[in-house]
Amino acid sequence: MIIETPRRDIKDLDRDALQQWLAQQGEAPYRADQIWRWIYRDQADTFDEMSNLGKSLRQTLAASFAIDRLLLAKHEKARDGAEKFLFELQDGRHIESVLIPERNHATLCISSQVGCAQNCRFCFTATGGWERNLTRGEILGQVRDVKHRLRHPEVLTNIVFMGMGEPLANYRNVVDAIHLLLDNKAGFGFSQRKITVSTAGLVPQMEKLGRETAISLAVSLNATDNATRSRLMPINQRYPLETLLEACRRYPLRPHRRITFEYILIQGVNDRREDARRLAKLLRPIRSKINLIPFNEHEGCRFRCPTETVILQFQKRLIDLGYTAIIRNSKGRDISAACGQLRARTEGIPIT
């Protein structure tokens, strides 16, 4: 019996690797950009559609590679317009992406890993543990496939790496994907200002990200003292607040750009008057803005969301101290809103 070897997803190749393969076939390097345009701009599903490539090259591509789509396992749409996509990967694992409608555009929140190893105490994804990194093609596939489903794909202008996983723990694949997301010639052509990577605080990778890209950085802070942050986010034991904030001060921000600090407000844990005062003091030397995120309560977690009065008071204190502080209420609360819930239900992951 002959067992066919699965063809590699061509989206997993970066430009250098594809150009090297093309050179081995006696083809010019510019063919790589032609292939990317067909895949990412024109949404081609087969190499036969690539009419500006020779027939022989199309046949060789088809014999060597696949242009995979992610399998849409589940799709939910909320009353507020948010849409959650549960994608099944080739190995049967699942990831989530969320499309968030804004007034005149849309933002897509994408995953970078299957699960997450950071074990943040407030995060639902952490309950399922970590399984593996996503490939470059699986990261890009989320954007490509959601755009393919949109009636008006041009409304998708923003990409945030805030889904399942810690993006900087899958550094190389994430940055390779970012380069293609930014590529105006052959990729998606997103603006640098419209792509945001959110990190729990992997300091060495943050410094590399600042050198290799000019995208926006968001740091999940969530506490103003080391004891509280270590309790909420174990990564703080490796990179305590002093180390993290020093890396933020050194981060090579472009003119008129700021680091976004995400601060999940949890009742009785980090929502007091002194927390707001310390937060303002900690961030004073950094060009920053603050996203206040009321905790999204979910089954199996003992944390609770503060009252609306407490949330508004916390915001007012920061504004009075000269900060831009925006309350980011989670959308899609009626469709398994917490990241990882849809995957957990599908895979039978126990909630603890």
pLDDT in tens, 168-192: 999 999 999 999 999 999 999 999 9
Q: What average pLDDT does the segment 79-103 reach?
A: 95
Phi, psi of 31 (to 5 degrees): -60, -30
Of 79-88, 204-213, 330-339, where does mean pLDDT reach its minimum? Answer: 330-339
User: Taking residues 108-112, what's their average pLDDT?
Assistant: 98
For the segment 209-213, the average pLDDT, to the nearest whole number, is: 96
pLDDT in tens, 27-55: 999 999 999 999 999 999 999 999 999 99
pLDDT score for 298 = 81
Catalytic, out of 96, 131, 138, 166:
96
- Res. 6 pLDDT band, cuts 50 70 90: confident
Residue 345 — very low, low, confident or very high, per pLDDT cuts 50/70/90? low
DSSP code, position 112: S
Question: What three-state secondary structure class fits 45?
Answer: coil
The pLDDT-based confidence of 332 (bands split at 50, 70, 90) is low
The Cα-based distances of 55 to 13, 47, 49, 62 in angstroms read: 22, 9, 10, 11
Find the range with the poorest average confidence among 86-90, 145-149, 224-228, 347-351.
Answer: 347-351
Confidence of residue 335 (pLDDT cuts 50, 70, 90): low
In this prediction, residue 338 has a pLDDT band, given cuts at 50, 70 and 90, of: low
- Fill in the DSSP letter of residue 149: H
Instruction: Evaluate if residue 343 carries a pLDDT over 60.
Output: no
| Domains and their CATH numbers in the chain | 13-66 (1.10.150.530), 78-347 (3.20.20.70)
Region 6-13: what's the mean pLDDT?
A: 92
Mean pLDDT over the full length of the chain: 93
| Rounded distance between C-alpha atoms, residue 71 and residue 233, angstroms | 33
24 has a pLDDT exceeding 80: yes
- 223: pLDDT strictly greater than 70: yes
Q: What is the pLDDT of residue 177?
A: 97
In the residue annotation, 339 being an active-site residue is answered as: yes
Catalytic hit among 109, 116, 120, 339: 339
Q: Is 116 a catalytic residue?
A: no
Distances (CA, A) of 109 to 96, 100, 194, 225, 247: 9, 8, 12, 29, 25
pLDDT digits (tens, 9 = 90+) for 242-297: 999 999 999 999 999 999 999 999 999 999 999 999 999 999 999 999 999 999 88
Q: Which residue do the tokens 């309790």 mark? A: 231
The pLDDT of 58-72, averaged and rounded, is 97
Percent of the chain with pLDDT over 70: 92
**What Å distances lie between residue 24 and 21, 162, 244, 281, CA to CA?**
5, 38, 45, 58
Quick one: pLDDT band at residue 336, thresholds 50, 70, 90? low
Q: Quick one: pLDDT at residue 197?
A: 98
Give the pair of three-digit tokens for residue 223: 């506490």
Q: State how far the Cα of 167 lies from the Cα of 67, in Å rounded to an integer.
A: 24
Q: Which residue has the tokens 């701009």?
A: 41
pLDDT at position 2 over 90? no
Nearest partner of 269 among 223, 338, 221, judged by Cα: 223
pLDDT band at 126 (very low <50, low <70, confident <90, very high): confident
